[in-house]
Amino acid sequence: MAGPAASLESYSGTSGLAVSLRGVTKVYDSGVNALGPLDLDVRNGEFVSLLGPSGCGKSTALRLIAGLNAPTAGSVRVSHRADQARAGHSIGFVFQEPTLMPWANVRENVRLPLKLARAPAADANAHVNDALMQAGLSEFAEAYPRELSGGMKMRVSLARALATDPDILLMDEPFAALDEITRFRLNNDLLSLWRNLRKTVIFVTHSVFESVYLSQRVVVMTPRPGRLGAEIRIDVPERGEEFRTSAEYAAYCREVSHALTPLQSGRRGS
Amino acid sequence: MTSLETPRLSAEQAAPESRALRLVRILLPIVVLAGGIALWELVVRLNNIPPYVLPAPVEVFRTLIADWPVLSQSLLTTLLTTLEGFVAAAIGGVALALLFNQSKWLEYSLFPYAVILQVTPVIAVAPLLLIYLPQQTAVVVCAWIVGFFPVLSNTTLGLNSVDRNLAGLFQLYGASRMQTLRYLKLPSALPFMLGGLRIAGGLSLIGAVVAEIAAGSAGAGSGLAYRIAESGYRLNIPRMFAALLLLSAAGIVIYGLLALTSHLVLRRWHESALGKEN
C-alpha cells in the first residue's frame, strides 16, 4: 500500500489503519467538555472529512491526532514508518490560517520542518523543491508571505506540510477564509495531490459541499461534546468540475445536509 | 454623468495632494524654526538684551564656531559615554530578557528589581554612584541604568508575543528549546527589540548627561553637560546655548540612526517598515 516499510506501531494485527481513536475525550482546563467519547478509524490512503458546526470539537480531534494536545481519556494511535523515529514526523499539519513566518521567504518557510529535523542540506533542498513544485509555487520561492494572496499563502502552508513527505496530512479548515473561486482551485489541486501522492488526508471543514467534493467518507459530528453523528461514504471514483455540477453530487450534498440538520436544530432547540 | 465622474477626478487628485501634504509637513516645522530664530534675534536686538542674559542666535552660532575645539572634544566624550552605556544596555537588556524567557523563576525573582532600578530617578542615584565608582565608570553606569530597561521590557514583550499557531507548528515538528528560540522567538521579538533600542539610544544620552551634571561640580569631567554646568558658573551663556544645541543634534542623530537601522532590518517583512501602498 503506502510505503515499502509501512508498519504499525503497537497493533500490527489491524494493519492498514493510519489513525485509530478509541474512546477519546477532551475536557479543557476551563471545564468545557469539547470532545467525545469518540471512536474513529482512518485507513491508509483514505480521504476523510470531519464535518460539523463550529464548536463540535473537530479541530480538537485533529489537534489530538497531531499530538498538539493530549486526550483527557482514551487512546490515540497514529501509524508511522519504521524509519521514522517520531510519530510527529509522519504527520503534516495545515492550520486554519497559513501560519507562515513573516520574516522568511517562501522557500525558508517550506524548509522549516526539515531544518527542525536537522535534515542534511542537500536532501532538504531536494525535498523543498519537490514540495514547492507540488504546490505550484516554484516561481514564488523567493517571495515573502506579505507579497502573496491568501490562496498562495495557503499553498505555502500546504507545501510546508508536504516537505517532510508525511504519510498523513491533517488539514484544519484550511480553505475556510478563501473566496470560492480560489477554494475550488485549491480543492482540485488537493485532490490531484492526494491521487498522485497517496497520502492519508483528514480534512476538517464546515462546508457540506467541500466535504462531499473532496472525500471518500464524510464523518458528521454532533456539537458539544463532539461525537460521531453519521458517516456517509461518497463512492465516486472520478472527481472534477463535472462531478461538482452532477445530480449525483447534489444528492450526496442533500444526504450530508440531512445528516447535519437534526444535530443543528437539536442544538438550537433548547 | 457628473456623479460618475466625480470619484475619478478625486482619485486622480489624490496622489499630488498627498505629495503636497508631505511637503507641507516637512516645510512647516522649518518655517516655524526660522520664524522663531528671527523673532529671537529681533527681540534681543531691539531690547538690547546683554548676551549674559539671553544671547542672540547669531551670537550662539559664533560661539559654536569659536569654541569648536573645546566643544567638539566634549561632544566626543559625551558620545563615547553614551555609546558605551547604550551597548551595555543593549547587551544587558537582551541577555536578561532571554534569561527571563528561559526561566520563569529567574524572571519572578529579578524583574521587580529591574523595575525599581527604572523608576528610581537616575539623577538621584548618580551622586551615590560617583562616590562608589571611578567617575568614568559611574557615568557609563548611569547611561546603562536608564537605557537597559526599555530594551529588557520590549524584548520580553516580543519573546512572549510569538504567534500561537507558529508555536504549535514548532511543537508538532519536535523543535528543541534552542531551535524554538533561534528560529521562532528571536525573529518574532526583533521588531520589539529594535523599538526598545530606539528608546534606549535617547535615554543613554540622557543618562550620560545626568551623570556628567552630577559629576560637574567635582570638575573632573569634560563632556558636553559638564561644559554647560561650567559655562553656567562662568556666566558664559552663549556657550551654554551652543553646547545645548550640540546635545540636541546628537540626540536627533542617535534617534535617526537607530530608526534607520530598524527600518533596514525590517523592511522586507514587518508592517512598521512597509510602505502604505502595500
Q: For residues B234-250, give the mean pLDDT.
A: 92
Per-residue pLDDT tens for B134-156? 888 888 898 899 998 999 999 99
SS3 B105: helix
Q: What angle do CA A222, A226, A232 make, to 5 degrees?
A: 50
**Among the listed residues A192, A190, A199, A183, the one whose alpha carbon sits nearest the alpha carbon of residue A79:** A199
Whether B86 and B34 share a structural domain? no
What is the pLDDT at residue A180?
Answer: 86
Q: Residue B95 pLDDT more than 90?
A: yes
Question: Distance from first CA to last CA of chain B, Å, rounded?
Answer: 32
Closest CA in chain B for residue A95: B165
Of A69-73, A95-99, B17-21, B125-129, where does mean pLDDT reach its minimum? B17-21
Q: Is the CB of residue A218 less than 8 Å from the CB of residue A256?
A: yes
CB contact under 8 A, A101 and B166: yes
What is the pLDDT at residue A8?
Answer: 34
CB contact under 8 A, B183 and A67: no
Q: Is the CB of residue B225 less than 8 Å from the CB of residue B209?
A: yes
**Separation of alpha carbons A183 and A156, rounded Å:** 15
Q: Which of A88, A97, A101 is closest, CB to CB, to B172?
A: A88
Q: Is B270's Cβ below 8 Å from some Cβ in A?
A: yes
CB contact under 8 A, A115 and B163: no
Whether B100 and B22 share a structural domain? no
Q: Which of A88, A97, A146 is closest, CB to CB, to B269?
A: A146
Closest CA in chain A for residue B269: A103
Q: Residue A70 pLDDT more than 60?
A: yes
Q: Which ranges of A20-105 would DSSP assign to H, the alpha helix?
A: 58-66
In a domain, B173, yes or no: yes
Total domains in chain B come to 2
Whether B144 and B11 share a structural domain? no
SS3 A140: helix
Whether B87 and B195 share a structural domain? yes
Task: Name the band, by pLDDT with cuts 50, 70 and 90, for residue A201.
Answer: very high
H or E element: which one contains B85? helix B68-102
Closest CA in chain A for residue B190: A103
Whether B240 and B140 share a structural domain? yes
What is the pLDDT at residue B5?
Answer: 41
What is the pLDDT at residue A89?
Answer: 60
**Cα A199 from chain centre:** 10
- The B residues from 104 to 163 touching A (CB cutoff 8 Å) are 163
A224: phi then psi, degrees, rounded to nearest 5: 35, 95
Q: Residue A9 pLDDT more than 50?
A: no
Q: For residues B104-128, give the mean pLDDT.
A: 88
What is the pLDDT at residue A262?
Answer: 66
Whether B197 and B258 share a structural domain? yes
Whether B191 and B118 share a structural domain? yes
Which chain A residues have a beta carbon less than 8 Å from that of B274? 146
In a domain, B278, yes or no: no
Q: Residue B26 pLDDT more than 80?
A: yes
Interface test with B, best of A97, A116, A144 (most B CBs within 10 A): A116
Distance from CA of B228 to the nearest CA of A (A): 46
- In the numeric block, the cell 482540485 is attached to A188
Whether B164 and B254 share a structural domain? yes
CB contact under 8 A, A103 and B270: yes
Distance from CA of B150 to the nearest CA of A (A): 23
**Cα B252 from chain centre:** 8
Domain that holds residue B201: 57-273
Which chain B residues have a beta carbon less than 8 Å from that of A91? 172
- In the numeric block, the cell 523543535 is attached to B175
Task: Name the band, by pLDDT with cuts 50, 70 and 90, for residue B200.
Answer: very high
Whether B35 and B140 share a structural domain? no
**Among the listed residues B119, B142, B122, the one whose alpha carbon sits nearest the alpha carbon of residue B221:** B142
Which chain A residues have a beta carbon less than 8 Å from that of B179? 115-116
Q: What angle do CA B254, B256, B259 make, to 5 degrees?
A: 110
**Separation of alpha carbons B34 and B22, rounded Å:** 19
Q: Is B183's Cβ below 8 Å from some Cβ in A?
A: yes
Closest CA in chain B for residue A116: B175
In a domain, B90, yes or no: yes
CB contact under 8 A, A116 and B174: yes
What is the pLDDT at residue B199?
Answer: 92
Q: Which of B165, B175, B184 is closest, CB to CB, to A95?
A: B165
Of A179-193, A223-237, B77-91, where does mean pLDDT reach its minimum? A223-237
Q: Is the CB of residue A134 less than 8 Å from the CB of residue A145?
A: no
Task: Name the band, by pLDDT with cuts 50, 70 and 90, for residue B10.
Answer: very low
The CATH number for B74's domain is 1.10.3720.10
Q: Is the CB of residue A51 less than 8 Å from the CB of residue A208?
A: yes
Q: Which of B163, B184, B278 is closest, CB to CB, to A146?
A: B278
Our separate counts of H helices and E strands in chain A read 8, 9
Task: Name the band, by pLDDT with cuts 50, 70 and 90, for residue B30.
Answer: very high
Whether B236 and B191 share a structural domain? yes
What is the pLDDT at residue B68?
Answer: 92
Check if the interface score ipTM surpasses 0.85.
Answer: no
Whether B82 and B191 share a structural domain? yes
Which chain B residues have a beta carbon less than 8 Å from that of A63? 168
Whether B216 and B99 share a structural domain? yes
Closest CA in chain A for residue B165: A99
Which chain A residues have a beta carbon less than 8 Å from that of B270? 102-103
Beta strands in A97-184 (DSSP E): 168-172
Task: Name the band, by pLDDT with cuts 50, 70 and 90, for residue A266.
Answer: very low
**Among the listed residues A103, A96, A81, the one whose alpha carbon sits nearest the alpha carbon of residue A164:** A81
Which chain A residues have a beta carbon less than 8 Å from that of B172? 66-68, 88, 91, 93
SS3 A83: coil
**Separation of alpha carbons A15 and B257, rounded Å:** 64
What is the pLDDT at residue A249?
Answer: 84
* Whole-number percent of chain A with pLDDT over 90: 14
**Separation of alpha carbons A90 and A79, rounded Å:** 8
Q: pTM score, two decimals?
A: 0.77
What is the pLDDT at residue B41?
Answer: 93
